[in-house]
Structure 1
């Protein structure tokens, strides 16, 4: 009888431990995500850029892509890249941590950027529009 009781107690503790999550890790991730999502976007004066930026920050690639033409181009430090692949790989994993400067009628954003692969660095996103008001090109790169 004693061995059955000991076995039951061990099983209960094992199941409880398996269901627990590392709260400090989850809190850190949540606070980091909250910081990025609560960033002041008041400097973003172009409504389309602001909405696309907000979708990027939230990791919502479908909404982000909805602001672009079907054949949108991407240039990374002046070199062409596959736009669709970039969005698929980076959206939700990379984001601005600050907005330092906005230029060109609200279409150019400069700030600090965080990536899981490369860490933190200053960058820019420059949005180019077609005649119908859709974004047709995005230039990204490291800012000086």
Structure 2
């Protein structure tokens, strides 16, 4: 059972998932702080290269299975054209003005 994107608790996380699923790269980047960082499976990655390769060039899609921590932690069935589908976990650090300063993802 997945959670409808519109029902996700945190507005920034809801917008992040919406942008990924709509393949809206410019909308996605507007959600991030200018100095945003990310990690994948515990290793920091180059943000621009990672989002291009893992989300936009490979048509990434997020089906949220569970949320916790006021909507800032997700369990997601994530799929893209490169890796297929996998269960992943996501954590988001959100600034006071509602932008994402860091996200972390990895196998769940």
- Could you tell me the TM-score, scaled by structure 2's length? 0.86
Higher share of residues assigned strand: 2
RMSD after superposition: 1.6
Task: Report matched runs for 1:1-144 at 5 Å.
Answer: 40-92=4-56, 93-96=59-62, 98-143=63-108
Shift of 1:42: 4.5
Higher share of residues assigned helix: 1
Bigger radius of gyration, 1 or 2? 1
Larger RCO of the pair (alpha carbons < 8 Å, separation 6+): 2
- Could you tell me the TM-score, scaled by structure 1's length? 0.66
4+ residue runs over 6 A deviation: none
Q: Is the 8 A contact 2:64 2:74 kept in 1?
A: yes
Aligned residues: 104
Distance 2:83 2:53 in 1: 13
